[in-house]
Structure 1
Amino acid sequence: MALDLLKMRYFAKIAELGSFTRASSELGVAQPALSLHMRGLEEQLGVQLLNRTPRGVTATEAGQTLLSHAQAILRALDQAEAATKEQAKYPTGDVSLGILSSICPTLSVPVIEECSRRFPKIRLTVSEGDSQALRAAIDTRVHDLAVTLDSVAKATSVPLFDETLYLVGPFGQLSPDAEVTVEQVLGMPLIMPTRRHGIRILLERQALIFGREMNVVREIEGVASTKAAIRAGLGLSILGRGAVHDDRAKGTLSAVVLTRPGLTRRLVLDMPVNHPPTRAAIEVQKILLAVVRKLGAEGHWSCTLRAT
């Protein structure tokens, strides 16, 4: 029969203090009730645990044996309680966050900074990748969270924001006030990713609508390599605002918003299904959503995320 933890706690306090009266005062339990609990514990174990004398109580040999085990058990329980409360206040653990490469520089730094400030015991790892790689990482639970394109994410994903697409060229080649239509862009010398990428798929659909062929002069995987090729004068490209914001500000690339129609792509927060998130992952998710809203208010994108 399992020992009653409450009775063990009462017994340990009585044995440690050597007095039913003092134990009653510290525990806030009436002395007759303590006596009843101790008799029940001794009957359960079939052995006398306490020697009762006019000057107090002392533990018998059997009582000393139980006391040593009881103290270890109760200490472990107290430590478990303290650790659990600490976890609730300061969550710990590893969290892996994947972010689409083109927006990772914009989004990752404020998320990392806020997480470090608020939850220093969370070990946050941020990885960038293309939408297909991020989807695979979510499916295999390599990532706990991923900011990716809605075209590859699960139906359970959370919409975050719509990002405007730009025609991007070498610095000085495109006037920010110029009006460039999607149909005009299709005939320009374009540097594009392969057909599995979201922007390429979007442009291919527009080509079908206009009955035009895309003039893809080079296929390059990777945003950094694409921008380097643009700066080298090897062609133009279509990139999201996050990929070119700093370059426009620094004067290393020029960009203009596409018109007729204006093109955007929706980014979402994707997570593994049938796999409850840890407390640490939940807190990182909250930080991520707050950063998305803040950057949206600053004009980086049009938020689709509902305020909570």
Structure 2
Amino acid sequence: MDKAKVLETRRLLAFIAVFEEGSFTAAAARMGMAQPALSIAISKLEAQLGTPLLIREPRGVKATAAGLLLSQRAYEIIGLIESTVEEVATVEQHPTGEVAIGLPSSTAAVLAIPLVERLAKTYPGIRLRLVESFSGYLWDWLLNGHIDIAVVFNQASRPEIISTPFAWEKMHLIGKALPGEANAPIEAGQLTGLPMVMPSRKQSFRDTIEHHIQKQGGTLDVQIEIDAGHQLIKLICSGRFYSILSPGSVAHEISTGQLQARPLAQPLERAICLAQRRLRHQATAVRCVTDELLSEARALIVAGVWDARIEAPLCT
């Protein structure tokens, strides 16, 4: 038990702040403490552990191998402390508290309303704050601690974030009136010359799409870049532009006949991931929201409402 005294909560929190910010100055501002006091706290932690945790560089700090290991353990320790405090305080009550969750526009189109209704019925004590944006922005907000959970695409876990794929969806050519035979797969070469509206390169999957099309002998004529889901769909509905999207992102427009979708002849899939901050993933309210999100997503996929699949793609 004596060794446990080394890892004081306040010093772990100080270390996490410096680790995430990459700067003592920024971490001190975040913690609301003087920089010298923060430096002393980290120095004492390093002295007690008997090893350097951070390397001071001209433009900030980076973690040593020992620091990276401590960061993983620190998230688990602080997360367990927070969830324990919350669970003890509410052991005889229903889960309460606010959970901030981010959904990409394409996912929100099919998941947002069913999820909100499900949570309101199952956990009325949880206050849900729902944020809709593109995957790249949600990932940044998750890293910065502005949201607790996010659905993102093709993102791997990091020391401060747990990211787990739970479904996969194929990308399609979307347009008001598509060239060629209806519902038939479209070759990459047929995309050349079509005026495209696409998310910006801030969304990492944009580059994946273009590289995939180029590899198959086609090119994308991207005339407009837009990181606003509803406006992007309006531009496609105008009939002047096409895009490469998942059918789920325009499920309503397809069902009402406003838009059409054709799969790519050389399929391209993206992983739909549930990402959570390690500091919050053990909190009771966050766990409840996570479980309900996954259950609702799977129910929508099984029912055919969400054009995605739960099984992992086969390795080739």
Select 2:220's aligned residue among 203, 214, 218.
Answer: 214
Q: In terms of mean alpha carbon deviation, does 229-238 or 280-289 score higher?
A: 229-238
The secondary structure found in structure 1 opposite 2:131 is: strand
| CA displacement 1:34-83 (0-9 Å, x = unmatched) | xxxxxxxxxxxxxxxxxxxxxxxxxxxxxxxxxxxxxxxxxxxxxx9996
- Cα distance in 2 for partners of 1:189, 1:85 equals 57
Whole-angstrom CA distance in 2 between matches of 1:296 and 1:187: 34
1:245-270 Cα shifts (integer Å, max 9, x gaps): 111111111111111x1122111001
Structure 1 position 223 matched with structure 2 position 229: yes
TM-score, normalized by length of structure 1?
Answer: 0.66
After superposition, residues 49-60 of structure 1 pair within 5 angstroms as none
- Structure 2 unpaired stretches of 5+: 1-85
2:154 to 139, 150, 155: 150
CA contact (8 A) 2:115 2:292 kept: yes
Alpha-carbon spacing, 1:110–1:173, altered in 2? closer, same or farther (3 Å)? same
Q: Which amino acid aligns with 2:162?
A: T
Aligned to 1:51: none
Asked if 1:277 corresponds to 2:277, the answer is: no
Contact 1:135 1:153 in 2 (8 A): no
Highest CA radius of gyration, 1 or 2?
1
**1:222, 1:182 → 2: CA distance?**
26
Q: Normalising to structure 2: TM-score of the pair?
A: 0.64
Q: Using a 3 Å threshold, how does the CA distance of structure 1 residues 81 and 264 change in structure 2: closer, same or farther?
A: closer
User: How far apart are the structure 2 equivalents of 1:218 and 1:119?
Assistant: 42
Q: How many residues align?
A: 223
CA contact (8 A) 1:166 1:256 kept: yes
2:162–2:277 CA contact under 8 A, matched in 1:
no
2:110 maps to 1:110: no
Distance 1:81 1:262 in 2: 46
Please give the secondary structure, in 1, of the residue aligned with 2:147. coil
Alignment-mate amino acid for residue 127 of structure 1? V
Letter in 2 for 1:266: A
- Please give the per-residue CA displacement for 1:102-128, whole angstroms capped at 9, x wherever unaligned: 111211111111111111111011111
Deviations 1:154-212 (A, max 9, x none): 47311111112111111576753333123322442211222222442122212442455
The answer to whether the aligner puts 1:131 opposite 2:131 as a matched pair is no
Aligned-residue sequence identity (percent) comes to 29
Letter in structure 2 aligned against 1:169: G
Q: Equivalent residue of 2:101, what SS? A: strand
Letter of the aligned partner of 1:303 in structure 2?
Answer: I
CA gap 1:304/1:159 in 2 versus in 1, 3 angstroms: farther
After alignment, is 277-286 or 195-204 more displaced? 195-204
The answer to whether the Cα contact below 8 Å between 1:171 and 1:231 also exists between their aligned partners in 2 is: no
Structure 1: 4+ residue segments shifted above 6 A:
none
Deviation string 1:140-165 (CA, Å, 9 cap, x unpaired) is 22111100112476473111111121
CA contact (8 A) 2:183 2:261 kept: no
CA distance in 1, matches of 2:87, 2:255: 52
Aligned partners of 1:252 and 1:153: how far apart in 2? 38
Backbone CA RMSD of aligned residues: 2.5
CA distance in 2, matches of 1:269, 1:207: 27
Which of these residues, 244, 247, 251, is aligned with residue 253 of structure 2?
Answer: 247
- Please say if 1:257 is aligned against 2:263: yes
Matches within 5 A, 1:1-308: 84-87=90-93, 90-151=94-155, 154=158, 156-171=162-177, 176-210=182-216, 212-259=218-265, 261-299=266-304, 300=306, 301-304=308-311
Q: Structure 1 CA distance, aligned partners of 2:224 and 2:181? A: 23
